[in-house]
Amino acid sequence: MAEAKVAPRPLSPHLQIYRWSWTMAMSVAHRITGSALYVGIALFAIWLVALASGPAAFDAVQWFFGSPLGYLILFGYTWVLMHHMLGGVRHLVWDFGYGMEAVQRINMARFTLIGSIVLTVAIWVIAFLLF
C-alpha cells in the first residue's frame, strides 16, 4: 500500500512580519480591557462584602478606595470600562457591515482610544462636581 503524500501545511506568519496598526492595537487593548474588567468586578465584590460585613469592614474598604492609590485604581477601572464599551460599539458597527473601509477603521480605532479618555475624564469631573 502506497503512502499518501501530505502537502506541507502553511505556517502562520510571525508577529515580526506584521506592522502595528491602530486597529491591531485597539483589538489587543479590547482583549486586555475585557480581562481587566474581571479585576474590577472582584473589587466591586469586595466592596459589597465589606458593606454587608458591618461598619468596621466597610470603613476600611472606603478608606482604601478614598486613598490616592484607591482613586488611581478606580480611575483606571473607569477607563478600562469606557474603552471596552467603545470597542464593543466599534465591533457592533462592524457587525452591521459599516466602517469597513481602511480610513473608517483607523478613525474608529482612534475614536475608541480618544473617546475612552474623554469619557473617563468627564465622568470623574462630573463626579467630583456633584459630590
Helices 68-95, 22-53: axis angle to 10 degrees equals 130
pLDDT in tens, 111-130: 999 999 999 999 999 999 99
Spatial distance between the Cα atoms of 106 and 69, rounded to a whole number of angstroms: 34
Residue 91 in grid coordinates? 465591533
pLDDT in tens, 81-118: 999 999 999 999 999 999 999 999 999 999 999 999 99
CB atoms under 10 Å from CB of 98, counted, come to 11
pLDDT at 16 over 90: no
| pLDDT band for position 15 (cuts 50, 70, 90) | low
